Amino acid sequence: MGKGYYTESILRDELQIDYFAYSNIHDAILDLQNKKIDVIFENSYLIRNILIKQNLSGMIIDNVSNLYPREHAYAVSKDRPNLVDFMNNRIDELQANGTFESIYQSYFYEHSNVYYEELDRERWAFGLISAFGILIIIIVLAEIIKRLKSKLSLKVYQLEETNKELQEKYIEIRTLAYINMVTGLPNRNQLRHDISEMIKESHTKAVMMSVDIDHFNEINDAFGHAIGDIVLKEISERFKKIVPPEGKLYNVNGEEFVFVGRPINREIFKQKAKEVINELRKPIFASDNEIRLNGGIGVILYPEHGCNFDELMRNLDIAMMQAKRSKNEMVVFEEKMGHEFIERTELHKSLRLAIDNREFVLYYQPIIELDTHKIKGFEALVRWIHPIKGLQAPSIFIPAAEESRLIIPLTHWILEESFTFIKDINERFNSNYSISINISSIHIIQDDFIDTITQILSKVGLNPTCIEFEITESVFLNDLDLAITRLHQLQNFGIKISIDDFGTGYSSLSYLKDLPLDNLKIDKSFINAIQDSDKNLSLAESIVSLGHTLQLKLVAEGVENEAQLKLLEKLKCDYIQGYLLSKPLNSNDLIKYIQEKTQ
Ligand code: C2E
Ligand code: MG
Ligand code: MG
């Protein structure tokens, strides 16, 4: 009991119970622990506070509550009764604004058993809720897993199906990679594979034959790719029938076929090559078009001509290109062709450089009117001033320029140069000389040929009526219709057309009447022979009369002596060109020549 507390007076005066009065609560607690006393009467908040501080919670039980009718009591002097209201108001205020609560919370509540019990309850509740939550989560998860499992097994099934499909596609793609899509024949990849397998075998011999169709892309350009494909299919069907025994046919590139025969004797292969060419040359009818093909065959022997795929294919190409160049049906590879091929490739390279470096120069050879001996015009003849080899004649580089298609940029330069030159000459001499330019047959069928001519004409500002284009009969071999269209377009500009080297071409004369031509240039081989025999003379005569019948002018090329000149006069040839009158001259010499001639 607190000494002098109000409680003490009640115990002493009213209840008369034995008690000890302590002036220090700690002494009372010590006595309680030592069982000297049984009970402590004290403010429960204070007691809880002390119990917790001294870590005695649970050992001493705070048991009795609400011993007093009020939790708080205060006393006021009887002299100041108005303080009662004041105190009550203040207490209400303290409770209302939370001061009491906060003091209680910070000094008593959190240290009390009630607090711990509440905490325990909360923990239990939390534990229970958590356990319950976890249980629910587990149930939900179990359900999700169950569903996923069933979905997964569906996916696994689908995956297996897709995998199967992919494998099928892979086989399909692999097949496609080894098959030519158009002809269905094994392609270059398959050939590479088969050759490498063959090389692994010892003591094997084989013959390889490559067939390439001439100007196939022109068929595609002229008739369209659909017709091109029909042609390739037809050819492959024909070739399939002539594959040698133990042989295989490949379609290595668009228009290139390779036969491999193992081992087979050369004679049989020669026979096969003939059959291949025959099949190739038989006309093909596709959508109302009659298409005629030609091609060259290259042959190599294994192991003589190469020990790996690349080497074999390179030499096969070389033999095939040689066949095409030399217009032979079949060419068997020889070592020297390899060197020639390298030389040609080198030539192509240096030609390309020469165009960039402008190493070309034009010579001009006068063409004279036979009646008057006046200058009609000049033929532009190109020369290559090689930095090491010096002046190179066209026969050395024109075939290579055509083969590499460098003739196209080269001719663009020739056109601009010669147009400018003739314009200057005609202005200077107040003349109307013509300029003849040799146009390669591969150039004239280019899509942009006419556009290029228009551009150069407008750039130079030359009147087109003084221009003559010299073309050879080979122009009409491939696509006669396209060539005719082009010639008409040129004629519409006012450009004149001459057939160069007339009489040496292979095509029939019947086309002459349908073509928009102006001149025939009789090849110098006829002029050379003209005075040798009457037969030769009458041959030249018939060419002249044929030309005149068609209302064309005749130009005799390569006139070297007076005898030829006299005979040509007799034949009423219109113009002559040759060393007798002048060799081709560079521009300065030509100006002197004109000056002398026109004095
Ligand atoms: P081509 O167009 O028939 O030119 C005539 C060739 O005969 C020229 O040879 C000329 O120099 C030569 N020639 C002229 N008169 C005589 C003669 O009396 N006797 C002999 N033996 N030859 C004579 P060139 O300049 O060597 O040209 C050869 C061929 O090269 C030309 O034959 C032509 O087909 C081609 N060529 C020349 N320049 C060009 C060109 O600028 N473009 C194209 N595409 N081809 C050209
Ligand atoms: Mg010519
Ligand atoms: Mg000629």
Same-fold call for 188-333 versus 345-598: no
Which residue is associated with the tokens 């087109």? 464
> Which ligand gives the minimal distance to the CA of 502?
3
| The length of the chain, given as a count of residues | 599
| Ligand 1 contact, 473 CB (< 6 A) | no
Looking at the domain that runs over 345-598, which CATH code has it been given?
Answer: 3.20.20.450
| Ligand 1 contact, 414 CB (< 6 A) | yes
| Ligand 1 contact, 298 CB (< 6 A) | no
- The best mutation among 438, 444, 522 to test binding of ligand 1, ranked by most ligand atoms within 8 Å of the C-beta, falls on 438
Provide the residue ranges of all domains of the chain, joining segments of one domain with +: 6-53, 82-178, 188-333, 345-598
Q: Which of 485, 402, 500, 412 is nearest to 454 (CA)?
A: 412
| Ligand 1 midpoint to CA 557 (Å) | 9
Q: What are the C-alpha distances in Å from 574 to residues 186, 309, 430, 547, 593?
A: 59, 59, 23, 10, 21
Please give the Cα distance from 559 to 581 (Å, whole number): 8
pLDDT at residue 69 in the model: 44
Q: What pTM did the predictor assign?
A: 0.60
| Ligand 1 contact, 402 CB (< 6 A) | no
| Ligand 1 contact, 584 CB (< 6 A) | yes
C-alpha gyration radius of the chain: 57
Q: By the 8 A CB rule, do 531 and 563 touch?
A: yes
CA nearest ligand 1 atom 17, residue: 558
CA nearest ligand 1 atom 12, residue: 558
Q: What are the C-alpha distances in Å from 481 to residues 93, 273, 477, 488, 552?
A: 116, 31, 10, 11, 21
Q: What are the C-alpha distances in Å from 343 to residues 151, 350, 365, 400, 562?
A: 69, 10, 31, 10, 41
Residue 401 CA: nearest ligand 1 atom is: 44
CA nearest ligand 1 atom 46, residue: 438
| Ligand 1 midpoint to CA 381 (Å) | 6
CA nearest ligand 1 atom 33, residue: 438
> Which ligand gives the minimal distance to the CA of 475?
1
Please give the Cα distance from 349 to 358 (Å, whole number): 14
Architecture per CATH, domain 188-333, reads as 2-Layer Sandwich (3.30)
Q: Residue 21 is encoded by which pair of tokens?
A: 């009065």
Q: Which of 481, 470, 421 is nearest to 443 (CA)?
A: 470
* Residues whose CB is less than 8 angstroms from the CB of residue 58 and which lie 6 or more positions away in sequence, other chains included: 113
Q: By the 8 A CB rule, do 233 and 182 touch?
A: yes
| Ligand 1 midpoint to CA 558 (Å) | 9
| Ligand 1 midpoint to CA 395 (Å) | 8
- The best mutation among 351, 381, 419 to test binding of ligand 1, ranked by most ligand atoms within 8 Å of the C-beta, falls on 381
- The best mutation among 417, 557, 579 to test binding of ligand 1, ranked by most ligand atoms within 8 Å of the C-beta, falls on 557
| Ligand 3 midpoint to CA 10 (Å) | 153
CA nearest ligand 1 atom 23, residue: 558
| Mean pLDDT of each 10-residue bin along the chain, 599 residues long | 78 81 87 86 74 76 56 73 85 84 67 69 84 89 88 86 82 82 94 94 90 87 89 95 88 93 76 91 88 92 93 94 86 90 90 96 98 97 95 94 93 98 97 97 91 96 96 80 92 96 72 88 92 88 93 96 96 97 97 94
Please give the Cα distance from 552 to 572 (Å, whole number): 12
| Ligand 1 contact, 523 CB (< 6 A) | no
CA nearest ligand 1 atom 15, residue: 578
| Ligand 1 contact, 39 CB (< 6 A) | no
pLDDT at residue 454 in the model: 96
| Ligand 1 midpoint to CA 365 (Å) | 9
Q: By the 8 A CB rule, do 403 and 423 touch?
A: no
Residue 380 CA: nearest ligand 1 atom is: 41
Please give the Cα distance from 488 to 494 (Å, whole number): 10
| Ligand 2 midpoint to CA 412 (Å) | 16
| Ligand 1 contact, 564 CB (< 6 A) | no
Please give the Cα distance from 106 to 100 (Å, whole number): 10
| Ligand 3 midpoint to CA 557 (Å) | 6
Residue 363 CA: nearest ligand 1 atom is: 25
The residue type found at 559 is V
Q: Residue 380 is encoded by which pair of tokens?
A: 């532009």
Please give the Cα distance from 194 to 188 (Å, whole number): 10
Residue 560 CA: nearest ligand 1 atom is: 18
| Ligand 3 midpoint to CA 475 (Å) | 14
| Ligand 1 contact, 377 CB (< 6 A) | no
Number of H helices, E strands in the chain: 22, 16
